[in-house]
């Protein structure tokens, strides 16, 4: 899949003109971009708690089949046997808790922990190196034979509150250098 960029919209032209006119050093620009990247990365990580896209749309809940597969995997005993069912054939209490508390994109926490930033004097990048991130972000067909439809659960992007924080950061950055 092609990488998808994020475009911050609005009237930023005056801010960017002012930044250009300040003749900032590369290290100052890198520092500003690192701070912007941090705002976006923290917002992306918060979405794992709120379970909402950058636009505020709620994520699709996990399917029952996914919840059961997760419970089966997480109740496996050290000897390799299943702890999903009790000896009497009932679903174990632990498996019930796993199914009841199953949250999208939070099985191991690996995806959230993989979010990283890179800042240069030219700009900033926020993303993850995990292969499964693209299917979670964009949605699509997955699984054996691509028979399972995974709904998009966008976690990367810029929310309106993050955009406001970035605007405020840039304005403060300019104020400090103009005085």
Q: What is the pLDDT of residue 11?
A: 60
Q: Which of 48, 49, 40 is nearest to 160 (CA)?
A: 40
Decide which of 179 and 38 is more confident: 38
Interval 85-101: pLDDT, tens: 888 888 888 888 888 88
CA 28 – CA 165 distance, rounded (Å): 19
Q: Measuring CA to CA, how many Å separate 164 from each of 109, 118, 158, 170, 178? A: 28, 21, 10, 10, 21
Q: What is the pLDDT of residue 106?
A: 87
CA 161 – CA 168 distance, rounded (Å): 11
Q: What is the pLDDT of residue 176?
A: 87
Give the pLDDT band (50/70/90) at residue 1: very low
Share of the chain above pLDDT 70, in %: 92
Angle formed at CA 177 by CA 29 and CA 170, multiple of 5 degrees: 55
- CB contact set of 163 (below 8 Å; sequence gap of 6+): 8, 10
Q: What is the pLDDT of residue 23?
A: 81
The chain-wide mean pLDDT, for the chain, equals 87
Give the pLDDT band (50/70/90) at residue 2: very low
Give the pLDDT band (50/70/90) at residue 9: low
Q: What is the mean pLDDT of residues 99-111?
A: 88
- Ordered by start, the domain boundaries in the chain are 13-60+114-178, 63-102
Q: What is the mean pLDDT of residues 48-66?
A: 94
CA 87 – CA 89 distance, rounded (Å): 5
Share of the chain above pLDDT 90, in %: 49
Decide which of 173 and 39 is more confident: 39
pTM, entire model: 0.81
CA 35 – CA 165 distance, rounded (Å): 10
pLDDT of 7 higher than 60: no
């Amino acid at each position: 899949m092609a990488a998808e960029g994020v475009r911050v919209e609005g009237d930023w032209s005056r801010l960017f003109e002012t930044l250009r006119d300040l003749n900032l050093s590369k290290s100052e620009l890198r520092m500003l971009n690192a701070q912007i990247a941090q705002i976006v990365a923290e917002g992306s990580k918060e979405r794992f708690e709120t379970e909402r896209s950058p636009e505020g749309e709620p994520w699709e809940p996990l399917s029952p089949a996914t919840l059961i597969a997760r419970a089966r995997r997480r109740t496996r005993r050290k000897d390799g046997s299943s702890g999903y069912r009790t000896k009497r054939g009932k679903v174990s209490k632990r498996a019930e808790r796993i199914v009841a508390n199953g949250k999208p994109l939070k099985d191991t926490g690996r995806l959230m922990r993989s979010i990283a930033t890179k800042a240069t004097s030219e700009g900033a990048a926020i993303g993850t190196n995990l292969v499964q991130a693209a299917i979670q972000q964009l949605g699509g067909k997955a699984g054996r034979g691509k028979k399972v439809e995974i709904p998009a659960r966008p976690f990367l992007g810029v929310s309106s509150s993050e955009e406001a924080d970035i605007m405020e950061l840039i304005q403060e950055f300019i104020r400090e250098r103009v005085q």
